């Protein structure tokens, strides 16, 4: 997770073309930062935007959110951590919310600007919009995902967890369902391959 620690010092503040500076992490999507800054500037629903650290919690950034240290490091900034969640990541967001309930969840899943602005307004009061009827990812599923993204075989993961190979494949199925991907976890790996190269066969 060295890339996370390195990015904290050099890529933390993300400046948009609007007269506002947002703390955004990771800062790998200028369009996300610009759009969020524009929306905040236009609506003026947040009293003190500099109190918050907005996290681009999307499927493309999945690899950043599979270990504990990303959230620990962000909390050290002293800012209120806000997960801006895309439609694929509700189960992952709910997993982290169960572990750290002082983070704020802000869903973009409905593609409704009015609802999103209303949710932005709730940030002033530190309120989360927790996804309903969404099962969080489990510890076992996250462990399997971590190991598969490093190229570990299903057989070796089963040996470590002292369970059947069938159980690991069930985790694959469950992860795909929760992350709303209809195909194998290899598709998720493709989203992460620009950050981490691994043999995912």
pLDDT in tens, 73-127: 998 888 889 999 988 899 999 999 998 888 888 887 555 666 677 677 677 666 6
In whole angstroms, what is the distance from residue 181 CA to residue 162 CA? 27
Q: What are phi and psi of 18, to 5 degrees?
A: -80, 160
**Could you tell me which residues are beta bridge partners of residue 22?**
14
Asked if the bond preceding 182 is cis, omega within 30° of 0, the reply is: no
Q: Tokens 């976890």 map to which residue? A: 185
Instruction: Give 132's contacts (C-beta < 8 A, 6+ positions apart).
Output: none
Predicted model pTM:
0.79
Rounded distance between C-alpha atoms, residue 200 and residue 12, angstroms: 31
CB 90 within 8 Å of CB 109: yes
State the pairing for strand pair 21-25/104-107.
unpaired
Asked whether 101 and 73 are in contact (CB, 8 A), the reply is no
pLDDT digits (tens, 9 = 90+) for 28-49: 888 888 888 877 777 776 767 7
- Give 53's Cβ-side CA count (13 Å radius): 20
Distance CA 192, CA 63 (A): 6
- For the ranges 26-30, 140-144, 189-193, the lowest mean pLDDT is seen at 189-193
Distance CA 10, CA 191 (A): 23
pLDDT of residue 15: 57
Query: Could you tell me what percent of the chain has a pLDDT over 70?
Result: 70
Q: Which residue has the tokens 């620990």?
A: 72
Token pair recorded at residue 51: 């109190």
pLDDT of 165: 94
23 has a pLDDT exceeding 70 = yes
Cα 106 to Cα 127: distance, rounded to the nearest angstrom: 9
Whether 14 shows a pLDDT value over 50: the answer reads: yes
Whole-number pLDDT of residue 139? 95
Round the average pLDDT of the chain to a whole number and report it.
77
């Amino acid at each position: 997770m060295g890339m996370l620690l390195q990015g904290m010092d050099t890529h933390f503040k993300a400046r948009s073309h609007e007269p506002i500076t947002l703390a955004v992490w990771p800062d790998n999507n200028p369009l996300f930062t610009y759009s969020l800054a524009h929306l905040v500037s236009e609506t003026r629903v947040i009293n003190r935007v500099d109190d918050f650290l907005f996290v681009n919690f999307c499927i493309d950034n999945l690899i950043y959110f599979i270990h504990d240290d990303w959230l620990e490091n962000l909390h050290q900034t002293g800012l209120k951590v806000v997960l801006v969640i895309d439609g694929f990541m509700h189960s992952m967001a709910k997993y982290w919310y169960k572990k750290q309930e002082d983070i704020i969840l802000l869903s973009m899943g409905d593609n409704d600007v009015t609802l999103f602005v209303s949710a932005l307004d709730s940030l002033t009061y530190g309120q989360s919009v927790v996804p309903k009827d969404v099962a969080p990812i489990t510890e076992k599923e996250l462990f399997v995902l971590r190991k598969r993204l490093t190229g570990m075989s299903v057989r070796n993961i089963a040996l470590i967890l002292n369970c059947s190979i069938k159980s690991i494949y069930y985790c694959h199925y469950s992860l795909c369902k929760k992350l709303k991907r209809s195909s194998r976890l290899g598709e998720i790996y493709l989203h992460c391959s620009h950050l981490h190269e691994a043999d995912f066969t």
